[in-house]
Each structure stands twice: as structure tokens, then as C-alpha cells.
Amino acid sequence: MDRFKSTKIAGILGIFGNLFLLIIKGLIGFISGSQAMIADALNSASDIFASLMTFIGNKIASEPNDNTHNFGHRKS
């Protein structure tokens, strides 16, 4: 497995894992009225965003070279 493929899997797992945590923590937070649980649900929401950026950045970096990017897109 190359590093782009493993990073892609890490990004996808991060998105869906944190989505699961967001829903569970959000539901329990609202049912119990726990502000700490709701705050932690929001933290999971920001983790989804971070995982999404990992996924998108990796997708851009994994593009092969072309005329304007002779050495590939992972280098400037």
C-alpha cells in the first residue's frame, strides 16, 4: 500500500469515526443536558473538518505530474 492510499483510508476513517462520535455525544448531551458532552460533540465536529482537509489535501498531492507541475503536485 502506498502512502497516498493509506492516508486516504486514514482520512475516511477520521471522517466517519468522528461523525459517529458527533452523533452519539450530541444525542447523549441533549438528552442528559450535559454541557460538557455537547462541547465534546462540537470538538468532534471540528475533527471531522480536520479529517476532511487531510482527505482533500492528500487527493491534490496524489495527482500525477503534468505540463505545469513537472515534478508532481506534492512538490511546489
- Give the integer Cα–Cα distance in Å for 68 and 50: 29
Q: Which stretch binds Zn ion (CB under 5 A): 8-16, 19-27, 36-44, 66-74?
A: 66-74
5 binds Zn ion per the rule CB under 5 A: no
Instruction: Check: CB of residue 4 under 8 Å from CB of residue 58.
Output: yes
- The residue within the footprint of Zn ion, chosen from 66, 70, 71, 76 (CB under 5 A), is 66
Nearest of 33, 66, 29, 56 to residue 44 by alpha carbon: 29
Interacting residues with Zn ion between 13 and 42 (CB under 5 A): none
**Interacting residues toward Zn ion by CB under 5 A:** 66, 68-69
